[in-house]
Structure 1
Amino acid sequence: MSHVTYPNESAEYRKARSALLEEEMALRRHIEAVAAQRRALPPGGEVPQDYRFERIGANGMPETVAMSRLFGPHRTLILYSFMYGPDRDTPCPMCTLLLDSVNGAARHIGQRAALYIVAKSPIARLVAWARERGWAHLQFLSTAGNSYNADYFGDSTKLPAEIRALSGGKPGEEWDDTAFNVFRLDNGTVRHFWGSDLTWAPTEADTDHRSGDAVSALWGLLDMTPEGRGQFMPKLAY
Structure 2
Amino acid sequence: MNKWRDVLLDPNARFPGESNEYRRARSELLEAELELKELNERVAAMRRALPAGGLIKEDYVFESADNGSEVKLSELFEPGKNSLIIYHMMFPRWSQDQRAGAPGGKTAELPLVEQPCPSCTSIVDGLEGAAFHVAERANLVVVAKTSPERLGTYARERGWHNLRLLSSRNNTFNRDYRAETPDGGQRASLNVFSRDADGIHHHWGSEATYKRGDTSSFDAIWTIYGVLDLTREGRGEGGGFPNLQY
TM-score, structure 2 as length reference: 0.83
Structure 2 residues not aligned, in runs of 5+: 1-9, 96-112
> Is the 2:126–2:223 contact (alpha carbons within 8 Å) kept by the matching residues of 1?
yes
- Which residue, 127, 133, 139 being the options, matches 1:108? 133
Instruction: Give how far 1:154 is off.
Output: 1.1
Which residue of the partner structure matches residue 160 of structure 1? none
Is the 1:53–1:143 Cα contact (8 Å) retained in structure 2?
A: yes
- DSSP-derived class of the 1:177 partner: coil
The match for 2:92 among 66, 85, 99 is: 85
Deviation at 1:10, TM superposition (A): 0.5
Q: Tell whether the 8 Å contact from 1:98 to 1:215 is kept in structure 2 after alignment.
A: yes
**Who is 1:76 aligned against?**
83
Indicate the residue corresponding to 2:237 in structure 1. 231
Q: CA deviation at 1:188?
A: 5.5
Counterpart in the other structure of 1:99: 124
TM (normalized to structure 1)?
0.86
Q: Deviations over 1:17-49 (max 9, x none)?
A: 000000000010011000000000001000000
Determine the C-alpha separation between the residues in 2 that align with 1:185 and 1:20.
41
For 1:126 and 1:81, locate their aligned partners in 2 and report how far apart those are by CA, in whole Å. Answer: 12
Which residue identity does 1:216 align to in structure 2?
A: W
Farther off after superposition, 214-223 or 60-69: 60-69
Q: How far is 1:231 from its partner?
A: 2.2
Which residue pairs with 1:222 in the alignment? 228
Aligned partner (choices 200, 216, 219) of residue 213 of structure 1: 219
The answer on 1:155 being equivalent to 2:161 is no
Distance in 2 between residues matched to 1:174 and 1:144, nearest whole Å = 11
- Aligned with 2:44 (options 35, 38, 41): 35
Which of 9, 13, 18 lines up with 1:4 in the alignment? 13
Normalized per residue, the structure richer in helix is 2
The equivalent residue for 2:69 is 63
Instruction: Name the count of aligned residue pairs.
Output: 216
Deviation, 1:99, is 1.1
| Aligned 8 A contact 1:201 1:209 in 2 | no
The runs of 5 or more residues in structure 1 that have no matched partner are 158-172
Deviations along 1:165-203, one digit per CA (max 9) or x if unpaired, are xxxxxxxx5410111111111116111111111111135
- Answering whether residue 40 of structure 2 is matched by residue 15 of structure 1, we say no
Matches within 5 A, 1:153-192: 153-157=178-182, 173-187=183-197, 189-192=199-202
Tell me if 1:139 matches 2:164: yes
CA distance in 2, matches of 1:175, 1:110: 30
Partner Cα separation in structure 2 for residue 89 and residue 62 of structure 1: 19
CA contact (8 A) 1:178 1:199 kept: no
Q: CA deviation at 1:62?
A: 1.8
Write the distance in 2 (CA, Å) between the matches of 1:180 and 1:39: 16
1:195-210 alignment to 2 at 5 Å?
A: 195-202=205-212, 208-210=214-216
Aligned counterparts of 1:61 and 1:216: Cα–Cα separation in 2: 28
The percentage of counterpart residues that share the same residue type is 43
Q: Does 1:46 align with 2:46?
A: no
The residue type paired with residue 146 of structure 2 is S
